[in-house]
Amino acid sequence: MGNWNHEDVLLIGGHALRSRFLFGTGRFPSPAVLQQALEASGSEVITFAVRRVNLESVEDDSVLQHFEDRQMQYLPNTSGARTAEEAVRIARLAREAGLGNWIKVEISGDHRTLLPDPIETLRATEQLANEGFIVLPYTSDDPILCRKLEEAGASAIMPGGSPIGSGLGLLNPYNLGLIAEQSSVPVIIDAGIGSAKDAAEAMELGADGILANTPIAKAQDPIMMARAFRLAIEAGRLAWLAGRIPKKRYASASSDWAGSLFETGVSAGGEQ
């Protein structure tokens, strides 16, 4: 299994990734900790809010300058957008500034829960896909909506496990499993993951990858947590590929009683 990472690549928009961990860059205590956590994560994709970037001078931006020595795939997001029109405008600005044609569509429909607006997200996804963007929409865990987003041209689907930054984990594993089962594009679980355990569980459900920020950045040791996520994602992927045993209501011995040292040989007919 030593070559597993090289053979089992994640394909998004024709781009092959060895790591299945997409890395959020906000909320870290310092740029140095961010750099070390990113190194420990093994991630090849970083996401950031376009509104946090100086689009007039991307090469000198306070966020992006820390990644100029790394071969990273940028995934700018439209955080802060409330409508499809706003999200499309943000995506166009990011591409014109040289940030590439990958975009994470993130359109909040509620200021308290930050849950995505399904209608606006679908509209933005369709328009941006038609304009040649590699679109990764952040969405709810609705299997029907996820199918519609794929039909609209999404290159990957990003359902949330629970509300952004909540750390509540996977509130609806059943739906997430259905989404992974039905999708022909990668499914990246995004939002609400609180620990490496949640990441492993999502991967065992059949997810293709994990996007996480807050559980790394706000951990007591972000660098150690980044490594924990990396290992959990790999372990969950391997477990899903290996195929788990079915769940049973009662116990099932791992070895037969036949040949037991304590087998008496006594039958209904008396001593043998």
Q: Which residues are catalytic?
A: 104
Angle CA(59)–CA(60)–CA(62) in degrees, nearest 5? 120
| DSSP conformation letters of 201-220 | HHHHTT-SEEEESHHHHTSS
Residue that has been written with the tokens 């896909």 in this structure: 129
The phi, psi pair for 45, rounded to 5°, reads: -125, 125
Query: How far is the first Cα of the chain from the last one, in angstroms, to the nearest whole number?
Result: 51
- What gap in Å lies between CA 237 and CA 7, rounded to an integer? 13
- What gap in Å lies between CA 157 and CA 152, rounded to an integer? 11
240: which 2 tokens? 């899903």
Q: Which residues contact 153 (CB under 8 A, 6 or more apart)?
A: 125, 126, 128, 129, 130, 135
What contacts 24+ positions apart, CB below 8 Å, involve 31-36?
31/66, 33/222, 33/223, 34/66, 34/217, 34/222, 35/66, 36/222, 36/223
Per DSSP, the three-state class of 6 is: helix
What single letter denotes the amino acid at residue 16? A
List C-alpha distances in Å: 145 to 82, 84, 93, 138, 141.
Answer: 18, 16, 27, 11, 8
